[in-house]
Amino acid sequence: MAEKTIKKAKDKKPNAVKRWWRETTGELRKVSWPTTQEAVRMTKIVLAVMVVMSTMLGILDFVFSKLIGLILT
């Protein structure tokens, strides 16, 4: 009788949420997190690239809208 309960305990799989949480925390321990200085530097780079790209796209949009306006009128 005791053997059956031991087998049941061994055969029982953890539920999906517990397994997911355990695997997620295990993976997060492996991550190489950036230092504060690196994070700030990378954030500044991303913001600068966003400003440059949005300016370029804005200029192109303006130019193409003017060209389309000239073609249609």
pLDDT averaged per 10 residues, the chain (length 73): 57 80 93 95 98 98 96 89
Where are the strands (E) in the chain, listed by range? none
Q: What is the pLDDT of residues 21-40, one digit of tens each?
A: 999 999 999 999 999 999 99
What are the distances in angstroms from CA 53 to CA 1, 12, 39, 60, 69? 71, 54, 21, 10, 24
pTM value surpassing 0.75: no
Q: Nearest 5°: CA angle at 32, between 26 and 37?
A: 140
Q: Domain of 7?
A: 2-72
The domain tally of the chain equals 1
